[in-house]
């Protein structure tokens, strides 16, 4: 064991330091109707500050992968480590944005955003200021005291994103966060997410059903196969940053989206 620990403590150059290591990860859901194998062995390293996007067919295990990384469910085999530490319970250094905003209906925007601070018993005063800044950045100023039902779907999702960032986590996991948004809001959110990534150096994993969104935002796109999902391919996106929306007209951008789309043509829809 001690020799393993020494290996784990070896520091690589800052730019290439592995923050998340996923090794031999498998998940089979045990149900009354039998076993549902959902992930075949997954091996994936994510570097500090890296932006990874995951695309794959509907039901291939993307949300399962994210829940495992978030420590919300347990793997059947294999392991996930963050900074060398085995993920068992939800780690403090992780923020999560779920597929639907899951805001608490009886809490205001501000009190929804402050949830992770309360759950983790962090200093309220300093985080309150941070929450207000995030809310303003997300274009929700003036809505701090509104309830979820008083917001549009886009505003609810922006609230959920503020909530994922309020405790300043090093890692942000996002499960199709923009799926329900209209095209313009979605583009705005993409630009905003890129800005946050660039300015804060956070490590981000984004599940998306939009191949252009994946290529636009990510340093690396991971393509998953059908269930039980495993990694079919990964593509580095060598487009310079900051990327503007017109990068989508770049030949490199088109070539990459076409190549990734090619994984799905034969098999039908992606999710
Ligand atoms: P994706 O997010 O890629 O659409 P999921 O990770 O949600 O896929 O699900 C992968 C597979 O596991 C699906 O076939 C789904 O029906 C199944 N599954 C997900 N959650 C459960 C669960 N709690 N119990 C049983 N099966 C599940
Ligand atoms: Mg899903």
For the Cβ of 59 lying below 6 angstroms from any atom of ligand 1, the answer is yes
Mean model confidence pLDDT for the chain = 90
Q: Give the pLDDT confidence score for residue 217 in this predicted structure.
A: 98
165 neighbors 134 (Cβ within 8 angstroms): yes
For residue 211, how far is the Cα from the chain centroid?
Answer: 15
Round to whole Å and give the CA distance between 33 and 31.
5
Residues with CB in 5 Å of ion ligand 2: 62-63
Q: Which element (helix H / strand E) includes 134?
A: helix 124-137
271 lines ligand 1 (CB under 6 A): yes
At residue 247, the pLDDT reads 97
| DSSP type of residue 150 | G
* Chain segment 184-196, per-residue pLDDT in tens: 888 988 998 999 8
What CATH number does residue 1 fall under? 3.40.50.300
CA of 34 to the centre of ligand 1 (A): 13
Mean pLDDT of 107-119: 96
The structural domain count of the chain equals: 1
Nearest atom of ligand 1 to the alpha carbon of 36: 26
Tell whether 163 is covered by a domain.
Answer: no
Pick the ligand that lies closest to the CA of residue 64.
1
Note whether residue 166 is domain-resident: no
User: What kind and span of H or E run contains 78?
Assistant: strand 77-82
Q: Which domain holds residue 70?
A: 1-93+209-271
Q: How far is it, in rounded angstroms, from Cα 118 to Cα 235?
A: 39
The predicted pLDDT at position 4 comes to 37
Q: How far apart are the first and last CA of the chain?
A: 41
Is the CB of residue 91 less than 8 Å from the CB of residue 71? yes
Examine residue 130 and state whether it is found in any structural domain, yes or no.
Answer: no
> Residue 246 domain-assigned?
yes
Which of 35, 36, 230 should be mutated for ligand 1, with most atoms under 8 A from CB? 36
Burial group, residue 10, by CB count within 10 angstroms (0-12, 13-18, 19+)? exposed
Greatest mean pLDDT range, 18-32, 129-143, 169-183 = 18-32
pLDDT per residue as tens digits for the range 151-173: 998 899 899 999 999 999 999 99
Q: Which atom of ligand 1 is nearest to the CA of 67?
A: 6
Band the pLDDT of 271: cuts 50, 70, 90.
low
| Within-domain flag for 5 | yes
Q: Are 203 and 172 in contact (CB under 8 A)?
A: yes
Residue 270 lies in a domain: yes
Ligand nearest to the backbone CA of 226: 1
Which pLDDT score, from 0 to 100, does residue 230 have?
94
């Amino acid at each position: 064991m001690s020799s393993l620990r020494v290996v784990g403590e070896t520091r690589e150059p800052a730019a290439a330091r592995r923050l998340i290591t996923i090794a031999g990860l498998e998940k089979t859901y045990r149900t009354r109707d039998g076993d549902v194998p959902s992930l075949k062995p997954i091996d994936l390293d994510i570097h500090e500050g890296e932006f990874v996007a995951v695309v794959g067919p509907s039901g291939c295990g993307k949300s399962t992968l994210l829940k495992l990384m978030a420590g919300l469910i347990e793997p059947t085999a294999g392991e996930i480590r963050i900074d060398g530490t085995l993920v068992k319970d939800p780690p403090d250094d992780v923020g999560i944005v779920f597929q639907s905003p899951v805001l608490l209906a009886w809490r205001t925007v501000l009190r929804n955003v402050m949830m992770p601070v309360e759950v983790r018993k962090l200093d309220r005063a300093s985080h309150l200021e941070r929450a207000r800044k995030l809310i303003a950045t997300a274009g929700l100023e003036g809505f701090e005291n509104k309830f979820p039902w008083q917001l549009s779907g886009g505003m609810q999702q922006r609230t959920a994103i503020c909530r994922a960032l309020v405790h300043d986590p090093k890692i942000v996991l996002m499960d199709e966060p923009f799926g329900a948004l209209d095209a313009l809001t979605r583009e705005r959110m993409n630009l905003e997410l890129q800005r946050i990534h660039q300015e804060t150096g956070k490590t981000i994993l984004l599940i998306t059903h939009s191949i252009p969104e994946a290529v636009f935002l990510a340093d690396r796109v991971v393509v998953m196969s059908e269930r039980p999902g495993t990694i079919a391919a990964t593509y580095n996106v060598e487009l310079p940053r900051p990327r503007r929306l017109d990068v989508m007209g770049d030949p490199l951008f088109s070539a990459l989206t076409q190549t990734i789309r090619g994984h799905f043509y034969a098999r039908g829809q992606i999710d």
